[in-house]
Amino acid sequence: MRRRFGAAAALLSVSLLAIGVAQNSRSSTLVYGGDFSDLITLDPGTSYEFSGGLVTDNLYETLVKFEGEDLSTLKPGIATKWTVSDAGSSWKVVFNLRNQKFSSGNPVTADDVVYTFDRAIALKGNGSFLFDEVANMKVGSTKAINKTTLEVTLPKTASPAAFLNLLTFNIGGIVDSAEVKSHVVNNDYGTAWLKNHSAGSGPFVLNRWDQNQQVVLEANPNSRLLPLLSRVILREMKEANTQKIALESGEIDIAENLTPDMVAAKAKDAKFNVYKADSLRLQYLGMNTGADSPFKDARVRQAVRWAVDQDAIVNDLAGGNARKIQTIIPAGLFGYNPATPYKVDIEKAKSLLKAAGKEGGFEFEYLVPQGSCGAGIPCSDLAAKIQSDLAKIGLRAKIRQIVQSELLGIYRAQKAQMVMVGWSPDFPDPDGNATPMSDYGAKSLAWRNAWQNDTAGKLAQQAALEPNPAKRAALYKQLTELQLEDGPFAILYQPKVPLTLAKTVKGYLRNAQGQVRFEKISK
């Protein structure tokens, strides 16, 4: 009897211990539910997907970074100090590094930065263009002066400001060169290994990645950025309903993809908080200004802008999960122009059409992608709203809803009359929007809409290269005003990303680039 009692007591103790360990583990773990199906690699040198960035930003520190929600002021990362100087035919950017360690225990040195940058260029991954096309860097542009000082040489065709900003992107995550080199197979720069391992100095290390299931991050004891939680799990859940149920049952602490009505319901529930993060995305109408297009005359494009009811789109269709914006640089970025001169004015729109010789209106093809547009609005609903707004001034839009890649194929060939798509800059710098949307020679959005305005193109180039912030701001103001008057775009809105968090989650911040510093979150 006594033996049986002893065994029962032992079993109970083990069970209680197990429960205690589990509860302790739960309280020190953040479980983040979302659709991470775009995750294909965790190598910072090749990852270009949103989910890849979300993870690698927490595994790898960058030389410079943004803090909190602010995307306009660079803060020290691995670099404690940096200076940009004009060296005549080039820019010299010098970084001083702090003493810190990678997760392996190896010190972070200037040689690691050289290896990281050269590796990213040589790999020719989806994000490599940031270094070789935007910053015009080559293998060899980065040189170590000593263990803690390095110099990057940029040609005068590149913008030092844009270069510094793009370093905050995951391609700027510094890798442990000794660790990576030890895993190189067939000259692959260790990319096969880094796909599902980590070698950084960020606050977390990769514990494991079970494809289409979860990514588990553990605190990096060697990081200077010690996290408040010891573990973060990104749990893949595609369905909004699944995320809602998992959030309610406490399986996850954060749900990233609830529908707008679910978010609205959770906002009224005392157990949850709703956090609306900004994004840098612009949902816009692109109007082809080519010789045969009815949108050739700037007054027709202005008429479209006077006819579109943005307030109804932002408040009703997006349920408030979007920002009203009419200029080409998204709010949150340097150079943002908050001007919103266009309001619904049907008479004014009609008079502009009359002045342009289009009094009776016209019919045109309106290309719309399938699925959801920004802020979770079904693209078909948004298209129907625009169609109805334009019909009020006599413009008869024939909606053609097709798959995104087919739409882009037509748009990229300058063959679309009007498109409704989204655009986000690749790095948090106004040039990520200004040049593609204004410079015909860049063969991007301005080109796709056959809009060749030499003044706009020159302004974009000048602003990109201008090192003086005040002068740069003035140039962007001039450019955004020109675009408002003459540009081929009708900006519809800037979507927000609503996230639902369990009330216990504290310190969650997400900037418009989608970066979340997991080390600052507690629960």
Query: In the set 75, 81, 143, 238, which binds another protein (CB under 8 A)?
Result: 238
Q: Are 519 and 58 in contact (CB under 8 A)?
A: yes
Residue among 186, 187, 249, 292 that touches another protein (CB under 8 A):
249
**What six digits make up the tokens of 491?**
């900006």
- In total, the chain counts a number of residues equal to 523
The answer to whether 367 contacts another protein (rule: CB under 8 A) is no
CB of 183 to another protein, least distance (A): 18
User: With CB under 8 A as the contact rule, which of the stretches 6-14, 26-34, 72-80, 270-278 interacts with another protein?
Assistant: 26-34
* Among 65, 119, 197, 235, interactor with another protein by CB under 8 A: 235
Q: Among residue numbers 133 through 162, which ones bind another protein (CB under 8 A)?
A: 133
Stretch that binds another protein, among 59-67, 237-245, 384-392, 483-491 (CB under 8 A): 237-245
Alpha-carbon torsion (193, 199, 203, 204), positive or negative: positive
Binds another protein by CB under 8 A, chosen from 129, 196, 259, 478: 129
Q: Which helix (H) or strand (E) holds 142?
A: strand 142-146
Strand partners, 365: 398
Beta-strand ranges (E) seen in 279-326 are 282-287, 322-323
Q: Phi and psi for 2 in degrees, rounded to 5?
A: -65, -40
Which residues ranging from 395 to 414 are in contact with another protein (CB under 8 A)? 402-406, 408-409, 412
Strands (E) located in 240-351: 254-255, 272-278, 282-287, 322-323
The yes or no reply on residue 214 touching another protein (CB under 8 A) is: yes
Angstrom distance (rounded) from CA 128 to CA 147: 25
Nearer to another protein, 86 or 133 (CB): 133
Residue 248: CB minimum distance to another protein, A: 5
Q: What x/- string results for residues 37 through 76 when contact with another protein is judged by CB under 8 A?
A: x--xx-----------------------------------
Q: Is 423 in the site for another protein (CB under 8 A)?
A: yes
Scored b (16 or more CB within 10 A) or e, 33-56 reads: bbbbeebebbbbbbbbbebbbbbb
CA atoms of 171 and 56, how far apart (whole Å): 9
| Residue 180 to residue 46: CA distance in whole angstroms | 14
Choosing from 97, 233, 255, 285, the residue that interacts with another protein (CB under 8 A) is 233
Whole-angstrom distance, CA of residue 437 vs CA of residue 456: 9
* Contact status: 271 vs another protein (CB under 8 A): no
What single letter denotes the amino acid at residue 131? F
Comparing CB distances to another protein, the nearer of 72 and 213 is: 213
Site for another protein in 170-209 (CB under 8 A): 208
Number of residues interacting with another protein: please give it, by CB under 8 A.
Answer: 44
- CB of 435 or CB of 494, closer to another protein: 435
User: Which of 42, 110, 162, 246 touches another protein by CB under 8 A?
Assistant: 246
Among 213, 315, 388, 455, binds another protein (CB under 8 A): 213
Looking up tokens 């008479």 gives 347
Nearer to another protein, 165 or 302 (CB): 165
Shorter beta-carbon distance to another protein: residue 78 or 237: 237
Report whether 429 contacts 335 (CB < 8 A).
no
Binding flag, residue 15, another protein (CB under 8 A): no
Q: Both tokens of residue 326?
A: 């009419």
Q: Indicate the Cα dihedral angle 405, 289, 432, 413, nearest 10°.
A: 30
Give least dist CB 37 to another protein, A: 5
DSSP 496: E
**Residues found near another protein in the complex (CB under 8 A):** 22, 25-26, 29, 31, 37, 40-41, 126, 129, 133, 208, 210-214, 216, 233, 235-239, 241-242, 245-246, 248-249, 251-252, 402-406, 408-409, 412, 421, 423, 426, 443
